[in-house]
Structure 1
Amino acid sequence: MKVAILAGGFGSRLAEETEIRPKPMVEIGGRPILWHIMRYYSAFGFNHFVIALGYKGEMIKRYFADYCMTTTNMTVDFRTNQVIPHDGPRPDWVVELVDTGLKTQTGGRIKRLAPYLGGETFMLTWGDGLSDVNLNDLLAFHRAHGRLATLTAVRPPARYGYMHFVGDQVVEFMEKPQLMEGWINGAFFVLEPGIFDYIEGDETVWEREPMERLARDGQLMAYKHASFWQCMDTLREKHLLETIWQSGQAPWKIWEE
């Protein structure tokens, strides 16, 4: 099964980083967040990626074109003008990089990927969010209900610490917990090809009319995930993910080196 990843947005809320690189190339632990997302899917056996490019997409192309050269030892033979990468561990990936336009909206990017997705069930996520959602359980849930679309519903992380009082006494304190009320769209979709009929063109925002129509038609289901989920929309969230990674306890780090 193929995994589509939207990686073409401007990332304007993370301008400190995205002035020089696309948001999926912003690094966590010395690796692009896009790499973390792909390693996560790969740990479940999903190794074929179709990536929608836009803003500074050439940097993502260059990253994957040079991947083997920059992650393994190599020999440079100046006599024959050859660069020879050595054998070594590398992901078992197929990566298709598709230019979907600079200003194309999310729905338009998804529709432009249709020719590359083989007319079959596919997964979809954004190139700026991490989670420990069980992808096998997510897929099983999708196949069981038989609708066109499944999203992963998550509880958003609180921005500030939570306190519970008795009078003026703090009797419970939690530093930035997941909120206990309310669910939001956490991406990590499983979709059927029929969803393309809900997208008109490049100006369509996936999260608006297509998802609203799918809901009205009874074709949108939610897989509720109450564990770890974190997007990277701001510099604060980038630093948060970096801190989690450096702790050695990153919930999304389920692969072996």
Structure 2
Amino acid sequence: MKVVILAGGLGTRISEESHLKPKPMIEIGGRPILWHIMKYYSEFGFHEFVICLGYKQYVVKEYFADYFLHTSDVTFDLANNQMEVLNNYSEPWKVTLVDTGLYTMTGGRVKRIQQYIGDEPFMLTYGDGVCNVDLNGLVEFHKSHGKIATITTVNIGQQKGVLDIGSDNVIHAFREKSANDGAVINGGFMVLNPEIFGYLKDDTTIFEQGPMQMLAEEGQLMSYYHDGFWQCMDTQREMKKLEALWQSGNAPWKIWK
């Protein structure tokens, strides 16, 4: 199953960092948060990624083009114009980087990568959040109910989409969050059937609005509730919080050795 990551936004709420690089390339523990997300998925056996790029997309492309320069020791033999990569460790990843436009909305970005997904279910998440959700459990739950979409839901005070969830885990309504709302929210880490592309019109489609609302109205949107760790990185304060967790040696999303 392929993993689609939304990594093309402007990151205006963390402009102290994002004026230099796209938000998913902001580093936690010396590695881009995008790398942390991919590493987490990879630990569950998901190794194929399609990354939706936009703002400063070349930074992400250059990072993967020079991946060994970022992660390994190297010897440069200048006289012979040769480079030797030392202590080489290669992630088992296949990464497709797609320029989905500078101002394309989230739904439009997903629509643009349809050709790289094909007629199969896929996973979708945002390129600025980490968690310790059981991804295998998430996929099994999605397969069990037969609906078009499953989203991981969390109960944290963030400015995200709010959900009205029934006792059967069917999401009956999806709306934007108000300032003092304490309801369960969309935490990303979704599983989607290919029918989702029929709900996405063009570059102006905001995934979290029309498509989500329509799926909810049709009873095609399911909740996989996660009561463990989840944290997005919308602000510099949240970036520092994630960095402190990493430096403490107790980062909940670090499940690899």
Normalising by structure 2, report the TM-score. Answer: 0.89
- Hey, what's the Cα distance between the residues in 1 that align with 2:254 and 2:104? 32
Which structure 2 residues correspond to residues 21-170 of structure 1 after superposition, within 5 A? 21-86=21-86, 88-156=88-156
- Hey, what's the Cα distance between the residues in 1 that align with 2:113 and 2:156? 29
Aligned sequence identity (%): 57
Quick one: structure 1 residues 11 and 154, their matched pair in 2 at CA, closer, same or farther if it must change by over 3 Å?
A: same
Which structure 2 residues correspond to residues 236-247 of structure 1 after superposition, within 5 A? 236-247=237-248
Q: What RMSD over aligned residues (CA atoms) do the two structures have, in Å?
A: 1.7
Q: Are 1:8 and 2:1 counterparts?
A: no
Instruction: Say which one has the larger Rg.
Output: 1
CA apart distance, 1:157: 5.1
CA apart distance, 1:87: 5.0
CA apart distance, 1:78: 1.9
1:232 — aligned with what?
A: 233
Q: Structure 1 regions of 5+ residues with no counterpart?
A: 160-180
1:251 — aligned with what?
A: 252
Counterpart amino acid of residue 74 in structure 1: V
CA apart distance, 1:118: 2.5
SS of the residue corresponding to residue 214 of structure 2 reads helix
Q: Is the 8 A contact 1:2 1:46 kept in 2?
A: yes
Q: Is the 8 A contact 1:157 1:230 kept in 2?
A: no
- Hey, what's the Cα distance between the residues in 2 that align with 1:13 and 1:109? 20
1:162 — aligned with what?
A: none
Normalising by structure 1, report the TM-score. Answer: 0.89
Counterpart amino acid of residue 225 in structure 1: H
CA apart distance, 1:158: 7.9
Counterpart amino acid of residue 232 in structure 2: C
Q: Is the 8 A contact 1:50 1:98 kept in 2?
A: yes
Q: Structure 2 regions of 5+ residues with no counterpart?
A: 160-181
CA apart distance, 1:22: 0.3
SS of the residue corresponding to residue 251 of structure 2 reads coil
CA apart distance, 1:69: 2.3
Q: Are 1:200 and 2:234 counterparts?
A: no
SS of the residue corresponding to residue 15 of structure 1 reads helix
SS of the residue corresponding to residue 206 of structure 1 reads coil
- Hey, what's the Cα distance between the residues in 2 that align with 1:139 and 1:96? 22
User: Alpha-carbon deviations, 1:68-95, whole Å to 9, x = none?
Assistant: 1221122222233122323522211111
4+ runs of 1 displaced by more than 3 Å? none
